[in-house]
Structure 1
């Protein structure tokens, strides 16, 4: 059991038993679409509440977190895993609210929503992103690949949500959980060192022609460069003399662009 998954399990079960005997507290932290502007904290707190009238709601959500969470947390790290979990739950809430407004469901605007389903769906999506061919047993009997499970849950949620099947289930919150997981992984990938390096090397410097390269190269004052950059300057200079500008790599062109005034 990993640190964040263990704490999330504990918080969810504690919240379940505390609010089960205190319905006023349950109502205060539940997400009601019509009240979200005056009670914005419920966008987060609803994720830790479950139907006090039965145990199956929290049981299946926590089973999903228990099976898929630890391996994913070990892969991403505890802080990143927690951000993914909360982001998926938050996006799930927003999608649910938007769908309630779009569908003009007046009753839905005042119907409280609770549950960790959207957050767990985000965890499931991220798990399928890294280990798509891992198998899980449906009803502890039928083996299904995780990627197939995500596709099946997406189809079921869309079908049920659009068809109004399964009253009391926030199907679009589930879809929002998948969306939140996808968005978080995309943002994380875009901020990664590899992505930043690729963006830099594929910037304007990578597309410069020989004339522009020559102009920027002449602007560089080698004596003002750091020794490390000076060594790179000398290496590129020797390469250009021997092979010409066309031989420069994208990274070398980015160097010329940067120190020749591309960032100024």
Structure 2
């Protein structure tokens, strides 16, 4: 059991116990689409509530978090895992609200939504992103690769949501959870040190512009270079004459930047 997963399990269980006997608190923390602007905190608090009238809702959500959460938290780190979890739940809420308003369902606008399902779906998506071929047992019997389970849940949620087979389930919140997990991983990957380095190294002229390159180039003294570097100088010189400065690679620009100071 990892730290954040344990804390999330405990928080959900405690809220389940506390709100079962306090319907006023349950109402204040539930997400109601028509009231979200006056109760914005419910975009987060709804994720820690579950149907007080039954145990299956919280049981299956916590079971999925228990199975998939620890390995993912160890892979991402505790802070990142928590951000992923909350982001998936938040995006799930937003998608549910937008869909409810789009359908102009007057009744649906005032129906409270609760549950960690969207957040757990985000965890499930992220797990499938890193370990797509891991197998889970459906009904503890049928082995299915996690990537196919995500696809199956996506199709079921789409079919049920678009077909009006609600059954008291916020299907588009589930889809929003998948979307939130995907968005968080995409943003995280784009901001990673490796991505920033790759972006910089692939950008033409990332280090020096043509004017600076020209100045540096004129400062190089070929006769003072080591024979290996002199050969590289001649090769770059031929390339510049034929194709221009814009054709240089980042490695070639680095060569000019390095030896343009007069070091051989």
Structures share fold, TM-score greater than 0.5: yes
Q: Distance in 2 between matches of 1:164 and 1:22?
A: 31
Q: Distance in 2 between matches of 1:23 and 1:130?
A: 40
TM, length-normalised to structure 1: 0.85
1:218 is the counterpart of 2:214: yes
Q: Distance in 2 between matches of 1:126 and 1:254?
A: 39
CA RMSD of superposed structures (Å): 2.8
In the alignment, which residue of structure 1 is the partner of 2:102? 102
Q: Is the 8 A contact 1:204 1:254 kept in 2?
A: no
In the alignment, which residue of structure 2 is the partner of 1:162? 162
In the alignment, which residue of structure 2 is the partner of 1:230? none
In the alignment, which residue of structure 2 is the partner of 1:61? 61
The DSSP-based 3-state class of the residue aligned with 2:113 is coil
Deviations 1:149-199 (A, max 9, x none): 000000000000001113210000000000000000000000011110111
TM, length-normalised to structure 2: 0.85
Q: How far did 1:252 drift?
A: 2.2
CA 1:138–1:218: 2 relative to 1, 3 Å? same
CA 1:74–1:104: 2 relative to 1, 3 Å? same
In the alignment, which residue of structure 1 is the partner of 2:244? none
CA 1:41–1:174: 2 relative to 1, 3 Å? same
Q: Distance in 2 between matches of 1:258 and 1:148?
A: 51
- Hey, which bits of structure 1, 4+ residues long, moved more than 6 A? 234-237, 256-260
In the alignment, which residue of structure 1 is the partner of 2:118? 118
In the alignment, which residue of structure 1 is the partner of 2:14? 14
Q: Distance in 2 between matches of 1:178 and 1:150?
A: 9
Q: Distance in 2 between matches of 1:150 and 1:177?
A: 11
**Greater Cα radius of gyration, structure 1 or 2:** 2
Q: Distance in 2 between matches of 1:239 and 1:190?
A: 38
What stretches of structure 1 of length at least 5 have no aligned partner? Answer: 224-233
1:73 is the counterpart of 2:73: yes
Deviations 1:46-97 (A, max 9, x none): 0000000000000000000000000000000000000000000000000000
CA 1:15–1:253: 2 relative to 1, 3 Å? farther
Q: Distance in 2 between matches of 1:64 and 1:220?
A: 60
What stretches of structure 2 of length at least 5 have no aligned partner? Answer: 220-224, 241-246
Q: Is the 8 A contact 1:96 1:176 kept in 2?
A: yes
